[in-house]
Amino acid sequence: MDNRLAPIDPQAATDEQKKVIARLGEGRGRIPTPFNIWLHNPRLAEGMEIIGTHVDRSPVLSEAETEVAILATAVFWNAPYVIANHRKHALKAGVPEAAVAAILDKRRPESVDGRLGAVCDAVADLLAGGAMDDARFARYDADLGRAAIAELLVTIGYFTSISLAMTMHALQPKS
């Protein structure tokens, strides 16, 4: 049901919208699908572009770690479009198939250890409401560091918005 999307025609865009479209072109080479929603509010789209470009090029998380957070968030929000896209990205980034399967089944991946295992655990805890005891927080602080914790929070928040937007606009994965 793509008629809910109502993309902005770059030729008919306002000056504010054109500014964001130009930034998207510079940073990403295209207008990612969620921006067809956010461009209706150019100031919002401008802020989301900054966050999204940062998440896409995280200086703190590996691509696999970022994809764990994205995929788990999409599954949490039951967002088929985002799940389909980021399942592929997660596997390509090196997230083990067993971990991807667990995330898709709404289970905490158990066969992953090291830093990626800590990310899997932290993401599961954050999506469960974020409440954790001091020992668990200390583990994430020691294993990941405060910068990675902050990055996970922003990635989950950004992809919560994307997941909700794609589902609200009834976008389905491309076959």
Q: Say if residues 40 and 65 touch (Cβ distance below 8 Å).
A: no
Comparison of pLDDT for 110 and 92, the residue scoring more: 92
Q: Is the pTM of this model over 0.85?
A: yes
Domains of the chain, start order: 2-56 (no CATH), 63-163 (1.20.1290.10)
57 Cβ contact partners less than 8 Å away, ≥ 6 residues apart? none
- Residue at token pair 């025609």: 9
CA nearest to 120, candidates 92, 142, 96: 96
DSSP one-letter code for 30: S
Q: What is the pLDDT of residue 1?
A: 43
State residue 19 phi and psi, 5-degree precision.
Answer: -60, -45
User: Tens of pLDDT along 99-122?
Assistant: 999 999 999 998 899 999 999 999
pLDDT at residue 175, as a whole number: 66
Yes or no: say if 33 and 162 are a contact pair by the CB < 8 Å rule.
no
